[in-house]
Amino acid sequence: MSTLRERLNTGVAAGVGLTFATPQLVELCGRVGFHWALIDCEHGAFSAEGMEHAIVAADGVNLPVMVRPASDRPEAILSALDRGAAGVQVPHVATAAQADAIVRAVKFEPRGNRGLGTSVRAAGYGIDLDLAAYMADANRETIVCVQIEDREGLANVAEIAAVPGVDIVFVGPMDLSQALGHPGDLARPEFRRDVERAFDAAHAAGVMTGTSGNAAWVRYGVGLGARYVYTSLGGVLQPGAREFIASTQTAPSR
């Protein structure tokens, strides 16, 4: 089983964002071929137990899971990581100091101050635990993705990307377009120039980039160098569902 980090190091990782999920739905996403899934606790309906059930199902089909916590609070980040998430995608990151605090919440000593629980799922419930190896593996593999989606974050993106431990700078197009005064107008030339400047600043710092949206927007992001991309489950379901429904209405009568 390759990790999400390994996938990102070799090419584009195409994911699916889930605002609700049963274990069976997560399993289906893995079997259909997605490279990873996002459990969205910012906009979605996930309890801590539901998040863990989703990650257990994902592990069964070798589907890495990222979690978007509802906030940058250390306890929200820890909840995702203790349950076995590959990393966190933290919304509304506006400053380098905030990004550094997020990294510290993700990493164990000596880089960070993540709470050390040895009976949690991520640690194999403590059974035959090699503590030093567990901590080293977590510090090496866990992914820190920070979302740029506000004016302040856009202005500070170079400094944010330069924070040691930040792996991915993610441009959130909907919130960023809203913050800039033209919500949802992703084709606006000045908006695209802002997005491109953010990508360029991240790449100059040696950091990967990501974005999400429909296929056209994601293709645009990949063209700018994004490797960490995803779309919503509804966005995938809608075209196929409508095509199927339409096909049933045009069949020749007998």
Catalytic sites, residue numbers: 43
Name every residue whose Cβ is closer than 8 Å to that of residue 29 and which is 6 or more positions away in sequence. Answer: 16, 18, 37, 58, 63, 233
Measured in whole angstroms, the distance separating CA 53 from the mean position of its chain's CA atoms is: 18
Tokens 């431990």 correspond to what residue? 165
Q: What are phi and psi of 238, to 5 degrees?
A: -60, -50
Query: For residue 21, what is the DSSP state?
Result: -
Name the phi and psi angles at 146, rounded to 5: -115, 135
Burial group, residue 188, by CB count within 10 angstroms (0-12, 13-18, 19+) = middle
User: Under DSSP, is residue 20 helix (H, G, I), strand (E, B) or coil?
Assistant: coil
- Judge whether 210 and 226 are in contact, CB under 8 Å: yes
Residue 249's CB: how many other CB atoms inside 10 A? 6
Among 241, 240, 217, smallest CA distance to 230 is for 217
Amino acid in position 87? G
Residue 104: burial class (beta carbons within 10 Å; 0-12, 13-18, 19+)? middle
Residue from 46, 51, 44 nearest 65 by CA: 51
